[in-house]
Protein backbone atom coordinates (compact mmCIF):
# COMPACT_ATOMS: atom_id res chain seq x y z
CA UNK A 1 0.00 0.00 0.00
CA UNK A 2 1.31 3.42 -0.95
CA UNK A 3 1.45 6.43 1.36
CA UNK A 4 -1.18 8.13 -0.81
CA UNK A 5 -3.43 5.09 -0.40
CA UNK A 6 -3.23 5.27 3.37
CA UNK A 7 -4.37 8.87 3.58
CA UNK A 8 -7.38 9.34 1.31
CA UNK A 9 -10.16 10.99 3.37
CA UNK A 10 -12.91 9.93 0.98
CA UNK A 11 -16.19 8.15 1.74
CA UNK A 12 -16.77 5.10 -0.50
CA UNK A 13 -20.21 3.51 -0.46
CA UNK A 14 -20.39 -0.31 -0.70
CA UNK A 15 -23.97 -1.50 -1.31
CA UNK A 16 -24.76 -5.11 -0.37
CA UNK A 17 -22.27 -7.96 -0.27
CA UNK A 18 -18.87 -7.34 -1.83
CA UNK A 19 -15.56 -9.09 -2.38
CA UNK A 20 -13.74 -9.56 0.94
CA UNK A 21 -10.33 -8.50 -0.40
CA UNK A 22 -11.80 -5.36 -1.97
CA UNK A 23 -13.68 -4.54 1.24
CA UNK A 24 -10.46 -4.94 3.26
CA UNK A 25 -8.55 -2.59 0.97
CA UNK A 26 -11.35 -0.01 0.92
CA UNK A 27 -11.53 -0.15 4.70
CA UNK A 28 -7.79 0.53 5.00
CA UNK A 29 -7.66 3.23 2.36
CA UNK A 30 -10.95 5.13 2.52
CA UNK A 31 -13.83 5.73 4.86
CA UNK A 32 -16.05 2.81 3.97
CA UNK A 33 -19.82 3.30 4.18
CA UNK A 34 -21.99 0.17 4.08
CA UNK A 35 -25.58 0.01 2.90
CA UNK A 36 -27.86 -3.02 2.58
CA UNK A 37 -28.53 -2.53 -1.14
CA UNK A 38 -28.40 0.14 -3.84
CA UNK A 39 -31.76 1.66 -2.92
CA UNK A 40 -32.24 5.46 -2.92
CA UNK A 41 -34.60 5.17 0.06
CA UNK A 42 -31.69 3.89 2.19
CA UNK A 43 -29.44 6.86 1.44
CA UNK A 44 -28.99 9.03 4.53
CA UNK A 45 -28.27 12.76 4.70
CA UNK A 46 -24.69 11.95 5.75
CA UNK A 47 -24.25 9.77 2.65
CA UNK A 48 -25.61 12.56 0.43
CA UNK A 49 -23.06 14.95 1.88
CA UNK A 50 -20.00 12.72 2.01
CA UNK A 51 -20.11 9.83 -0.45
CA UNK A 52 -17.88 10.46 -3.47
CA UNK A 53 -17.40 6.91 -4.72
CA UNK A 54 -19.23 3.59 -5.06
CA UNK A 55 -17.70 0.11 -5.23
CA UNK A 56 -20.19 -2.54 -6.28
CA UNK A 57 -21.03 -5.63 -8.31
CA UNK A 58 -23.38 -3.48 -10.38
CA UNK A 59 -27.05 -2.69 -9.95
CA UNK A 60 -26.52 1.07 -9.89
CA UNK A 61 -29.40 2.80 -11.63
CA UNK A 62 -30.09 6.46 -12.41
CA UNK A 63 -32.21 7.01 -9.30
CA UNK A 64 -29.46 5.75 -7.02
CA UNK A 65 -26.88 7.88 -8.83
CA UNK A 66 -29.09 10.96 -8.42
CA UNK A 67 -29.50 10.24 -4.69
CA UNK A 68 -25.78 10.96 -4.21
CA UNK A 69 -25.10 14.57 -5.33
CA UNK A 70 -21.36 14.43 -4.59
CA UNK A 71 -20.73 11.12 -6.35
CA UNK A 72 -17.68 11.16 -8.64
CA UNK A 73 -16.94 7.54 -9.53
CA UNK A 74 -18.62 4.11 -9.69
CA UNK A 75 -16.05 1.30 -9.57
CA UNK A 76 -17.77 -1.78 -10.98
CA UNK A 77 -16.45 -5.21 -10.01
CA UNK A 78 -16.51 -7.19 -13.28
CA UNK A 79 -15.97 -6.54 -16.95
CA UNK A 80 -19.72 -6.44 -17.64
CA UNK A 81 -21.40 -3.26 -16.44
CA UNK A 82 -24.81 -3.45 -18.13
CA UNK A 83 -26.54 -3.11 -14.71
CA UNK A 84 -24.85 0.28 -14.17
CA UNK A 85 -26.49 3.24 -15.92
CA UNK A 86 -23.23 4.45 -17.43
CA UNK A 87 -24.94 6.85 -19.84
CA UNK A 88 -26.70 8.63 -17.01
CA UNK A 89 -23.46 8.69 -15.04
CA UNK A 90 -21.70 10.30 -18.00
CA UNK A 91 -24.40 12.96 -18.22
CA UNK A 92 -23.81 13.71 -14.54
CA UNK A 93 -20.04 13.87 -15.03
CA UNK A 94 -19.49 10.68 -13.04
CA UNK A 95 -16.77 8.19 -13.96
CA UNK A 96 -17.61 4.49 -14.32
CA UNK A 97 -14.88 1.86 -14.34
CA UNK A 98 -14.85 -1.91 -14.81
CA UNK A 99 -12.27 -4.69 -14.49
CA UNK A 100 -11.29 -5.89 -17.99
CA UNK A 101 -8.24 -7.97 -18.96
CA UNK A 102 -7.57 -9.47 -15.52
CA UNK A 103 -10.36 -12.04 -16.00
CA UNK A 104 -9.96 -12.64 -19.75
CA UNK A 105 -7.84 -15.78 -19.59
CA UNK A 106 -9.85 -17.41 -16.78
CA UNK A 107 -13.16 -16.89 -18.58
CA UNK A 108 -11.69 -18.14 -21.87
CA UNK A 109 -10.46 -21.28 -20.09
CA UNK A 110 -13.96 -21.82 -18.68
CA UNK A 111 -15.54 -21.38 -22.10
CA UNK A 112 -13.37 -24.12 -23.60
CA UNK A 113 -14.03 -26.43 -20.64
CA UNK A 114 -17.78 -25.81 -20.91
CA UNK A 115 -17.70 -26.48 -24.65
CA UNK A 116 -15.94 -29.82 -24.16
CA UNK A 117 -18.16 -30.79 -21.23
CA UNK A 118 -21.24 -30.06 -23.32
CA UNK A 119 -20.10 -32.01 -26.36
CA UNK A 120 -18.48 -35.00 -24.62
CA UNK A 121 -20.87 -35.16 -21.60
CA UNK A 122 -17.93 -35.36 -19.19
CA UNK A 123 -19.84 -34.29 -16.04
CA UNK A 124 -22.38 -37.06 -16.67
CA UNK A 125 -19.59 -39.54 -17.30
CA UNK A 126 -18.03 -38.62 -13.95
CA UNK A 127 -21.39 -39.09 -12.22
CA UNK A 128 -21.65 -42.49 -13.92
CA UNK A 129 -18.38 -43.47 -12.23
CA UNK A 130 -19.14 -41.93 -8.83
CA UNK A 131 -22.65 -43.37 -8.44
CA UNK A 132 -21.49 -46.90 -9.21
CA UNK A 133 -23.08 -47.16 -12.64
CA UNK A 134 -19.75 -48.16 -14.19
CA UNK A 135 -19.67 -51.23 -11.91
CA UNK A 136 -23.39 -52.03 -12.23
CA UNK A 137 -24.07 -51.14 -15.84
CA UNK A 138 -20.71 -51.17 -17.60
CA UNK A 139 -19.10 -48.47 -19.72
CA UNK A 140 -20.64 -45.02 -20.06
CA UNK A 141 -22.51 -44.74 -23.39
CA UNK A 142 -20.55 -43.29 -26.31
CA UNK A 143 -21.05 -39.53 -26.65
CA UNK A 144 -23.16 -38.72 -29.69
CA UNK A 145 -21.30 -35.48 -30.34
CA UNK A 146 -17.63 -34.71 -30.94
CA UNK A 147 -15.50 -31.62 -31.32
CA UNK A 148 -13.93 -33.16 -34.42
CA UNK A 149 -14.99 -31.48 -37.65
CA UNK A 150 -16.88 -28.65 -36.00
CA UNK A 151 -16.97 -25.04 -37.11
CA UNK A 152 -17.01 -22.33 -34.44
CA UNK A 153 -18.86 -19.03 -34.40
CA UNK A 154 -18.14 -16.44 -31.72
CA UNK A 155 -20.77 -13.82 -30.92
CA UNK A 156 -18.78 -10.93 -29.43
CA UNK A 157 -15.16 -10.74 -30.55
CA UNK A 158 -13.80 -8.59 -27.74
CA UNK A 159 -10.94 -9.44 -25.39
CA UNK A 160 -12.55 -12.66 -24.14
CA UNK A 161 -13.85 -13.69 -27.55
CA UNK A 162 -10.39 -13.31 -29.01
CA UNK A 163 -8.83 -15.33 -26.16
CA UNK A 164 -11.36 -18.12 -26.81
CA UNK A 165 -10.61 -18.04 -30.53
CA UNK A 166 -6.87 -18.31 -29.93
CA UNK A 167 -7.43 -21.40 -27.80
CA UNK A 168 -9.67 -22.96 -30.41
CA UNK A 169 -7.00 -22.50 -33.06
CA UNK A 170 -5.10 -25.27 -31.28
CA UNK A 171 -8.01 -27.62 -32.11
CA UNK A 172 -7.59 -26.81 -35.83
CA UNK A 173 -11.21 -25.69 -36.10
CA UNK A 174 -12.43 -22.96 -38.47
CA UNK A 175 -13.53 -19.81 -36.62
CA UNK A 176 -15.92 -17.05 -37.62
CA UNK A 177 -17.50 -14.21 -35.65
CA UNK A 178 -20.20 -11.57 -35.44
CA UNK A 179 -19.73 -8.14 -33.88
CA UNK A 180 -21.39 -4.80 -34.41
CA UNK A 181 -18.44 -4.14 -36.68
CA UNK A 182 -15.50 -6.00 -38.18
CA UNK A 183 -12.36 -6.20 -36.00
CA UNK A 184 -9.44 -4.58 -37.81
CA UNK A 185 -6.61 -6.96 -38.65
CA UNK A 186 -8.47 -10.15 -37.68
CA UNK A 187 -8.35 -12.95 -40.26
CA UNK A 188 -11.39 -14.91 -39.05
CA UNK A 189 -14.48 -14.81 -41.28
CA UNK A 190 -16.76 -11.94 -40.30
CA UNK A 191 -20.56 -12.07 -40.53
CA UNK A 192 -22.46 -8.79 -40.32
CA UNK A 193 -25.53 -10.52 -38.84
CA UNK A 194 -25.89 -13.05 -36.04
CA UNK A 195 -28.22 -15.15 -38.16
CA UNK A 196 -25.62 -15.25 -40.91
CA UNK A 197 -23.03 -16.47 -38.42
CA UNK A 198 -25.36 -19.12 -36.98
CA UNK A 199 -26.17 -20.39 -40.47
CA UNK A 200 -22.48 -20.73 -41.32
CA UNK A 201 -21.37 -22.70 -38.23
CA UNK A 202 -22.56 -25.57 -36.05
CA UNK A 203 -21.13 -24.32 -32.74
CA UNK A 204 -22.04 -20.87 -31.42
CA UNK A 205 -20.23 -19.37 -28.42
CA UNK A 206 -21.77 -16.20 -27.02
CA UNK A 207 -19.49 -13.74 -25.25
CA UNK A 208 -21.78 -10.78 -25.96
CA UNK A 209 -22.36 -8.12 -23.29
CA UNK A 210 -25.78 -7.46 -21.82
CA UNK A 211 -27.95 -4.45 -22.51
CA UNK A 212 -30.88 -3.43 -24.68
CA UNK A 213 -29.03 -4.00 -27.97
CA UNK A 214 -28.39 -7.69 -27.20
CA UNK A 215 -31.57 -8.53 -25.25
CA UNK A 216 -32.67 -12.04 -26.34
CA UNK A 217 -30.49 -11.78 -29.43
CA UNK A 218 -30.10 -15.57 -29.42
CA UNK A 219 -33.70 -16.48 -30.14
CA UNK A 220 -35.66 -19.22 -31.91
CA UNK A 221 -34.61 -17.95 -35.35
CA UNK A 222 -30.90 -18.04 -34.46
CA UNK A 223 -31.15 -21.49 -32.90
CA UNK A 224 -32.98 -22.84 -35.94
CA UNK A 225 -30.23 -21.42 -38.15
CA UNK A 226 -27.63 -23.19 -36.00
CA UNK A 227 -29.23 -26.51 -36.90
CA UNK A 228 -29.80 -30.01 -35.55
CA UNK A 229 -26.08 -30.66 -35.00
CA UNK A 230 -25.74 -27.29 -33.32
CA UNK A 231 -24.16 -26.63 -29.95
CA UNK A 232 -24.71 -23.34 -28.13
CA UNK A 233 -22.43 -22.11 -25.34
CA UNK A 234 -23.04 -18.93 -23.34
CA UNK A 235 -20.24 -17.47 -21.23
CA UNK A 236 -21.35 -13.83 -21.67
CA UNK A 237 -24.69 -12.64 -20.25
CA UNK A 238 -27.91 -14.56 -19.66
CA UNK A 239 -30.01 -11.65 -20.92
CA UNK A 240 -28.71 -12.21 -24.45
CA UNK A 241 -30.65 -15.48 -24.73
CA UNK A 242 -34.37 -16.19 -25.05
CA UNK A 243 -34.29 -19.00 -22.49
CA UNK A 244 -37.79 -20.26 -23.31
CA UNK A 245 -36.82 -20.56 -26.98
CA UNK A 246 -33.58 -22.31 -26.01
CA UNK A 247 -35.40 -24.83 -23.82
CA UNK A 248 -37.82 -25.54 -26.65
CA UNK A 249 -34.97 -25.93 -29.16
CA UNK A 250 -33.25 -28.43 -26.87
CA UNK A 251 -36.46 -30.38 -26.26
CA UNK A 252 -37.48 -30.69 -29.91
CA UNK A 253 -33.90 -31.25 -31.13
CA UNK A 254 -33.73 -28.05 -33.13
CA UNK A 255 -30.18 -27.97 -31.72
CA UNK A 256 -28.17 -30.81 -30.21
CA UNK A 257 -26.92 -29.37 -26.90
CA UNK A 258 -26.17 -26.26 -24.86
CA UNK A 259 -23.59 -25.28 -22.24
CA UNK A 260 -24.48 -22.32 -20.04
CA UNK A 261 -22.57 -20.45 -17.35
CA UNK A 262 -24.93 -17.47 -17.20
CA UNK A 263 -28.68 -17.02 -16.90
CA UNK A 264 -31.21 -14.22 -17.22
CA UNK A 265 -32.42 -14.30 -13.59
CA UNK A 266 -29.52 -15.62 -11.53
CA UNK A 267 -29.45 -17.68 -9.42
CA UNK A 268 -32.83 -18.86 -10.68
CA UNK A 269 -32.40 -21.28 -13.59
CA UNK A 270 -35.48 -22.26 -15.64
CA UNK A 271 -36.63 -25.76 -14.72
CA UNK A 272 -36.82 -26.71 -18.39
CA UNK A 273 -33.08 -26.13 -18.72
CA UNK A 274 -32.35 -28.03 -15.51
CA UNK A 275 -34.41 -30.97 -16.76
CA UNK A 276 -32.90 -31.04 -20.26
CA UNK A 277 -30.51 -34.01 -20.59
CA UNK A 278 -28.55 -32.25 -23.35
CA UNK A 279 -27.32 -29.33 -21.25
CA UNK A 280 -24.18 -28.66 -19.20
CA UNK A 281 -24.89 -25.97 -16.61
CA UNK A 282 -22.53 -23.98 -14.37
CA UNK A 283 -23.39 -21.43 -11.63
CA UNK A 284 -21.69 -18.40 -13.24
CA UNK A 285 -18.13 -19.46 -12.42
CA UNK A 286 -16.37 -18.12 -15.51
CA UNK A 287 -13.92 -15.97 -13.54
CA UNK A 288 -14.42 -17.66 -10.19
CA UNK A 289 -10.93 -18.57 -9.07
CA UNK A 290 -9.33 -16.99 -6.01
CA UNK A 291 -6.46 -15.74 -8.18
CA UNK A 292 -8.67 -13.95 -10.71
CA UNK A 293 -11.22 -12.57 -8.27
CA UNK A 294 -8.39 -11.07 -6.19
CA UNK A 295 -6.99 -9.43 -9.32
CA UNK A 296 -10.44 -8.06 -10.14
CA UNK A 297 -10.81 -6.73 -6.60
CA UNK A 298 -7.43 -5.03 -6.78
CA UNK A 299 -8.26 -3.36 -10.10
CA UNK A 300 -11.62 -2.21 -8.78
CA UNK A 301 -9.98 -0.53 -5.77
CA UNK A 302 -6.97 0.68 -7.79
CA UNK A 303 -9.43 2.66 -9.93
CA UNK A 304 -10.73 4.40 -6.81
CA UNK A 305 -7.21 5.09 -5.52
CA UNK A 306 -6.05 6.45 -8.87
CA UNK A 307 -9.13 8.64 -9.25
CA UNK A 308 -8.86 10.26 -5.84
CA UNK A 309 -5.06 10.53 -5.75
CA UNK A 310 -4.17 11.18 -9.40
CA UNK A 311 -7.45 12.41 -10.92
CA UNK A 312 -7.49 9.58 -13.47
CA UNK A 313 -9.27 6.25 -13.81
CA UNK A 314 -7.29 3.21 -14.91
CA UNK A 315 -10.06 1.40 -16.81
CA UNK A 316 -12.92 3.77 -17.66
CA UNK A 317 -15.85 2.33 -19.61
CA UNK A 318 -16.37 3.87 -23.08
CA UNK A 319 -19.38 5.95 -22.03
CA UNK A 320 -17.33 7.87 -19.45
CA UNK A 321 -13.88 8.04 -21.06
CA UNK A 322 -14.14 11.83 -21.37
CA UNK A 323 -15.28 12.47 -17.78
CA UNK A 324 -12.79 14.60 -15.89
CA UNK A 325 -12.06 14.55 -12.17
CA UNK A 326 -13.53 17.41 -10.18
CA UNK A 327 -11.16 19.98 -8.76
Reply yes or no on whether 184 is catalytic.
no
Q: How far is CA 155 from the centre of its chain?
A: 13
Per-residue burial over 261-296, b = 16 or more CB atoms within 10 Å of its CB, e = otherwise: bbbbeeeebeeebeebebbbbbeeebbeeeebbebb
How far apart, in whole angstroms, are the C-alpha atoms of residue 13 and residue 40? 12
Reply yes or no on whether 224 is catalytic.
no
How far apart, in whole angstroms, are the C-alpha atoms of residue 17 and residue 195? 39
Tally of CB atoms within 10 A around 194: 24
Give, as one character, the DSSP assignment of residue 209. -
Catalytic residue among 120, 167, 284, 294: 284
**If 0-12 CB within 10 Å is exposed, 13-18 middle and 19+ buried, where does residue 135 land?**
exposed
Q: How far is CA 90 from CA 98, 212, 229, 322, in A?
A: 14, 18, 45, 8
SS3 assignment, position 87: helix
Within 252-289, where are the H helices?
Answer: 271-275
Within the chain, where are the H helices?
Answer: 3-6, 20-29, 45-50, 62-66, 86-91, 104-120, 122-130, 133-137, 159-169, 194-200, 220-226, 243-251, 271-275, 290-310
Catalytic residue among 52, 178, 237, 293: 237
Catalytic residue among 266, 291, 321, 326: 266
Reply yes or no on whether 237 is catalytic.
yes
The residues assigned a catalytic role are 237, 266, 284
Amino acid sequence: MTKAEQSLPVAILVPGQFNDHAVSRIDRTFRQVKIERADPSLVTDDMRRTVRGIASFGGINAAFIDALPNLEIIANFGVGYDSVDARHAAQRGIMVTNTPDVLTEEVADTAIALLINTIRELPRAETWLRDGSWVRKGNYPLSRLTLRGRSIGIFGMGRIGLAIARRLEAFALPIAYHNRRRVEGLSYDYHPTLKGLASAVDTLISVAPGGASTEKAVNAEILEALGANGVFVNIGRGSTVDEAALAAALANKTIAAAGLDVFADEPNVPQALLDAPNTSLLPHVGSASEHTRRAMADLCVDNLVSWFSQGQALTPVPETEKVKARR
